[in-house]
A and B are shown apart, each in its own frame.
Chain A
Amino acid sequence: MKKYSDLEFLRLSKWQKFCYKIAAFFCSIPHAVGNLFKKIGLFFKNVFVSIGKELADVVTAFTKGDWKTKVSYVIMGFGNIARGQVLRGLMFLLFEAVFIFYMITTGSGWISMLPSLGKQGPQEIYDPILDTYHTEYGDNSFKILLYGVLTIFFIIAFIYTWRANIRQNQVAEKILRSGKKLKSGKQDLHSLVDDNFHKTLLALPLTGIVVFTVLPIFFMILVAFTNYNGAHNNGYTNALFNWVGLENFRTLFSWNVGGVNYAATFGEILTWTLLWAFLATFTNYFLGIFVAMMINKKGIRLKKVWRTILVLTIAIPQFISLLYVSRMFDKNGIVNGALMSLGLISEAIDFWGTAKLARIMVVVINIWIGIPYLMLIATGILMNIPADLYESAKIDGASGWKQFSKITLPYMLFITGPYLLTSFTGNMNNFNVIYLLTGGAPTNTAASGAAGSVGYTDLLITWLFKITTGSEAQYYLASVVGIMIFVVVALISLVVYNMLPSIKNEEDFQ
């Protein structure tokens, strides 16, 4: 693509400028993607480099350290205790003891079973003496995977702590050499409300995130490489599942697996998900701004009343309003009733019956749900636009529309750029609106099959939900779909984020 200099660009006609900008935008996408991969590459490089550095440091610390330090390589916390920091040393020692005890008693067992996910499932064993069968519970793949993952996390935590233990020795040696004193246990405790207060504050939230978000996600990513499904939940008959490698990903992108065209189903749902996210985000955005501008226009009275009426949709739990509204549009719901009694239609319209109509309906009802949020946000931003911008525009001769398109909109887009991005990805995963309105209906018979029942309004997220419930649950497929959602969201976010003007030229409107 030809690059124009600034002066050349100024000579282009309006249309040429527009085309140039569009072209420049699309030309920048490969670059942005390239940058992304470069960054990822750099990240891994940095990780390996720093691991290398750590290893080298550990070795030098051993050779150069005194005997207290050397002993600490085996007995964690020894250095601390020997140098008088008893509290710290005991914590290290306790952690090491717990770790070793755990690894010997159970941990090593889980780890060793991880590659096979268990060999012997539950079985009925004939007891010749009593002449009965009794059940012998064998291995349980779910538990092996779960505790295997836990053990891996534990090992990582141990390595990290061990490294911290060595670093403490290094630091302590340095401090003592320079003639200063080490912190006492009391000072350590006190620092937890002062210079180390952040550690205290983060302890609880981060534990929650690790246990309830990081671990499950890590586990589910692993599930994508197994054949774990609902039937395996029954520990009495069938508790074993296996690693299957990339098989599940292959399934999702295949045209024909046991008569089901997964690739087409996935493609169709993904297309609708993206279309839905786009429509839902931008209809709400522009209409929300429009409503906000109407309410905030000078001279309009009862501003508070209009706002409160709209905000009612936020105040009332979505499940009530959504469930109710979806019933309003039923074949024998209020809307059809009203239309018929007014004589506008002679036969009830099946709003949820056809793909096209149902899709239009969810977008329209989502506008009803979404405008109030946008109205609030837009109101806040509109009030922040400096009044002198409008005053000088008026003196320059700008009409109402010009003021909107040249000042209000650019300002809005600039400020809300990141918000638009998060709301787009949020809409991609907007479970509530779709599930409570249509439950995915109407059913897409062509796409349904082994992959649960799929509807025309199903998003990836509701599809995922459907294939994880019941005894027919296909957890492995759900994991693959979840990973795909992540990939799509991450790609969009990273590419768009790097191109957002509010990230690139932060100062423009400040």
Chain B
Amino acid sequence: MASVKLTNVEKVYDNKVVAVHDFNLDIKDKEFIVFVGPSGCGKSTTLRMIAGLEEISSGTVEIDGEVVNDLQPKDRDIAMVFQNYALYPHMTVYDNIAFSLRLKKVPEDQIYEKVTWAAEILGITDYLLRKPRALSGGQRQRVAIGRAMVRNSKVFLMDEPLSNLDAKLRNQMRAEIILLRQRLDTTFIYVTHDQTEAMTLGDRIVIMKDGYIMQVGSPTEVFERPANLFVAEFIGAPKMNTFKAELVKEGAGYFVKAFGAKLPVNGPNGELLAKNGVGSREVTLGARPEHIVLADAKAENTIETKLIVSEMMGSEVHLHVRTTDGTDLIVRVPTIQLSPAQRANLQSGATLYITFEDKVMYFFDPESQENLLFH
């Protein structure tokens, strides 16, 4: 129930390694923010600086308008869920959840109320007298969340809480976190390396790389309007295809030359390029696998490729194809759209003609890697 504001926050370790550069972010009250990025990008470090577990080298962190740089974690009124749960092995589930309340000298009656309330919500009432080692991974995760829940704290921090769970459990817990959020109605800061989690959970996503913020935006924004090549490649699975291409301005319109094909750029993308005053130039072209379509026959706007591997995923097929100049691309086709003849043709070595949907092509500056559409 508080806003969090980070201003020019930096983290420099003793060995002069800079983990976080000039981090600026305004987190609104009751917002669910996700920090996402590959390992070593500084997302956990940032979270730990907010928690007070890591010293802030420079800049300020404010919680609810108060600068908390010099406060101990216990004085910041935060709750945190750790990646490995960090349950106290020598205490029962009940004592684990009650620990923070006992430190605050809350009367035992109230502690009982609170702990059973949290246990009820999380469905762990039957395990209250067990020790953590007698619990399964999912149950431990719930206890860890319960421990954070009872604190009524201003900010709820979660550091990769699901990464130690198996795939099925992870999906389930993800849904439960969404429910939990509705129930607790407080500010959440959530760290993960998994873009799916980020997309499904976050109101806003902060994508980080090497200690820098790459983009901050809602899931739709970062998916549809990635600020740069890194964000474009990081969000979405399978990964976006990117390759060198030539953008040519012809009169008022544009087209792209790639792999010997000529692909027109019409619609909103062409307008945006014109608006940004982009001329003919080299670009890094991006196309999501689901935005590549199979063509029936060779044409001016098709690219000739050889099929390397076809992966049948059930509802869709992932085709790994190689162009004539040796670039590998991934194409994602819904199974339902494939005719029996096309399906029969999906053998290794088969020749496929592909083309891009012009509405959803991305153009990046090869040097700065910025998105040319939204620059």
| Residues on A facing B (Cβ under 8 Å) | 180, 194-195
Residues of chain A within 8 A of B72, CB atoms compared: 194-195
Instruction: Write the chain B residue with the least CB distance to A180.
Output: B70
Of the A-B pairs whose beta carbons lie under 8 Å apart in the complex, a sample of 3, sorted by A's number, is A180-B70, A194-B72, A195-B72
Chain B interface main SS type: loop
Residues of chain B within 8 A of A195, CB atoms compared: 72
Residues of chain A within 8 A of B70, CB atoms compared: 180
| Residues on B facing A (Cβ under 8 Å) | 70, 72
How far apart are B306's CB and chain A's nearest CB, in angstroms? 35
Instruction: Write the chain A residue with the least CB distance to B69.
Output: A180
Instruction: Write the chain A residue with the least CB distance to B67.
Output: A180
Instruction: Write the chain B residue with the least CB distance to A175.
Output: B70
Residues of chain B within 8 A of A194, CB atoms compared: 72
CA distance A149 to B282 in the complex (A): 76
CA distance A304 to B72 in the complex (A): 49
CA distance A289 to B72 in the complex (A): 49
How far apart are A21's CB and chain B's nearest CB, in angstroms? 33
Residues of chain B within 8 A of A180, CB atoms compared: 70
CA distance A35 to B72 in the complex (A): 42
CA distance A194 to B72 in the complex (A): 9
CA distance A180 to B69 in the complex (A): 12
CA distance A194 to B103 in the complex (A): 14
CA distance A456 to B32 in the complex (A): 78
How far apart are A186's CB and chain B's nearest CB, in angstroms? 15
How far apart are B55's CB and chain A's nearest CB, in angstroms? 10
CA distance A195 to B55 in the complex (A): 12
Instruction: Write the chain B residue with the least CB distance to A194.
Output: B72
Instruction: Write the chain B residue with the least CB distance to A183.
Output: B70
CA distance A445 to B283 in the complex (A): 91
How far apart are A479's CB and chain B's nearest CB, in angstroms? 38
Instruction: Write the chain B residue with the least CB distance to A191.
Output: B72
Question: What are the 3 A-B residue pairs with the smallest beta carbon separation, nearest first?
Answer: A194-B72, A195-B72, A180-B70
CA distance A43 to B364 in the complex (A): 50
CA distance A433 to B140 in the complex (A): 52
How far apart are A177's CB and chain B's nearest CB, in angstroms? 15
How far apart are A191's CB and chain B's nearest CB, in angstroms? 9
Instruction: Write the chain A residue with the least CB distance to B70.
Output: A180
CA distance A508 to B70 in the complex (A): 41
CA distance A195 to B71 in the complex (A): 10
Instruction: Write the chain A residue with the least CB distance to B75.
Output: A194
CA distance A195 to B72 in the complex (A): 8
Instruction: Write the chain A residue with the least CB distance to B74.
Output: A194
CA distance A194 to B70 in the complex (A): 13
How far apart are B67's CB and chain A's nearest CB, in angstroms? 9
How far apart are B264's CB and chain A's nearest CB, in angstroms? 53
CA distance A194 to B73 in the complex (A): 11
CA distance A376 to B154 in the complex (A): 52
CA distance A42 to B283 in the complex (A): 51
How far apart are A181's CB and chain B's nearest CB, in angstroms? 10
CA distance A385 to B70 in the complex (A): 46
How far apart are B278's CB and chain A's nearest CB, in angstroms? 47
CA distance A180 to B70 in the complex (A): 11
How far apart are A171's CB and chain B's nearest CB, in angstroms? 12
How far apart are B260's CB and chain A's nearest CB, in angstroms? 41
How far apart are A196's CB and chain B's nearest CB, in angstroms? 11
How far apart are A50's CB and chain B's nearest CB, in angstroms? 15
CA distance A432 to B358 in the complex (A): 86
CA distance A195 to B70 in the complex (A): 10
How far apart are B243's CB and chain A's nearest CB, in angstroms? 35
How far apart are B53's CB and chain A's nearest CB, in angstroms? 12
Instruction: Write the chain B residue with the least CB distance to A195.
Output: B72
How far apart are A468's CB and chain B's nearest CB, in angstroms? 44
CA distance A180 to B72 in the complex (A): 16
CA distance A248 to B70 in the complex (A): 56
How far apart are A337's CB and chain B's nearest CB, in angstroms? 57
How far apart are A464's CB and chain B's nearest CB, in angstroms? 40
CA distance A439 to B70 in the complex (A): 61
CA distance A293 to B72 in the complex (A): 51
CA distance A338 to B70 in the complex (A): 77
How far apart are B75's CB and chain A's nearest CB, in angstroms? 10
How far apart are A184's CB and chain B's nearest CB, in angstroms? 14
CA distance A41 to B72 in the complex (A): 40
How far apart are B61's CB and chain A's nearest CB, in angstroms? 15
CA distance A188 to B70 in the complex (A): 14
CA distance A195 to B52 in the complex (A): 12
How far apart are B7's CB and chain A's nearest CB, in angstroms? 14
How far apart are A327's CB and chain B's nearest CB, in angstroms? 49
How far apart are A297's CB and chain B's nearest CB, in angstroms? 31
CA distance A389 to B221 in the complex (A): 50
How far apart are A444's CB and chain B's nearest CB, in angstroms? 53
CA distance A140 to B23 in the complex (A): 66
How far apart are A28's CB and chain B's nearest CB, in angstroms? 26
CA distance A200 to B357 in the complex (A): 68
How far apart are A148's CB and chain B's nearest CB, in angstroms? 38
How far apart are B129's CB and chain A's nearest CB, in angstroms? 32
CA distance A194 to B74 in the complex (A): 10
How far apart are B174's CB and chain A's nearest CB, in angstroms? 32
How far apart are A178's CB and chain B's nearest CB, in angstroms? 10
CA distance A92 to B114 in the complex (A): 48
